[in-house]
């Protein structure tokens, strides 16, 4: 199977071959992806992939209930952690987003069900031949973004 042009070195190759484009229905994994995407804002995805294990350790394996309770001492610890992107606003956004994530889980029973509702519960099957054909945004992604904003999801990271 041919790889996308961005998957040229590890860990991007493993991410491409094992995760990219694979439907996910696990709440914790979806939360991890959203937090890592936020951390990536302004940086390359390879930078975040290289720090992914450090993020898992620093953010309690992306357990939203624990992150939502982080206080000043946790923020100080994270700002001193060279294994992650040490940006106060991104750390604060992660804590806020954990709270918003838990609110969606409480309301919908599952964050995955909530996210999948934007595409009718099924993966979109695109047949792009070139990276230039892949849109940066879609009607579904715009609707999801608006809804997350309405639910107090922090966009400081986006």
Q: Which residues are known to be catalytic?
A: 15, 37, 45
152, 107 contact by CB (below 8 A) = no
Among 36, 93, 24, 82, which residue's Cα sits nearest to residue 61?
36
Q: How many residues does the chain have?
A: 158
Among 18, 14, 78, which residue's Cα sits nearest to residue 46?
14
DSSP assignment of 75-117 equals HHHHHT-TTS---HHHHHHHHHHHHHHHHHHHHHS-HHHHHHG
E strands, the chain, are none
Phi/psi for 33 (5° steps) reads -60, -45
My answer on whether omega of the bond before 11 falls inside 30° of 0, hence cis, is yes
């Amino acid at each position: 199977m041919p790889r996308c042009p961005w998957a040229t070195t590890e860990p991007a190759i493993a991410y491409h071959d094992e995760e990219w484009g694979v439907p996910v229905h696990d709440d914790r994994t979806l939360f991890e992806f959203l937090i890592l995407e936020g951390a990536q804002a302004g940086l390359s995805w390879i930078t975040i992939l290289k720090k992914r294990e450090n993020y898992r350790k620093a953010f309690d394996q992306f357990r939203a209930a624990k992150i939502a309770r982080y206080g000043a001492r946790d923020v100080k610890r994270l700002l001193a952690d060279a294994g992650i992107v040490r940006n106060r606003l991104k750390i604060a956004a992660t804590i806020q987003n954990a709270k918003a994530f838990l609110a969606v889980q409480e309301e919908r029973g599952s964050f995955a069900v909530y996210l999948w509702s934007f595409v009718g519960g099924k993966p979109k099957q695109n047949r792009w031949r070139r990276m230039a054909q892949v849109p940066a945004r879609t009607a579904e992604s715009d609707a999801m973004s608006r809804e997350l904003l309405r639910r107090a999801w922090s966009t400081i990271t986006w």
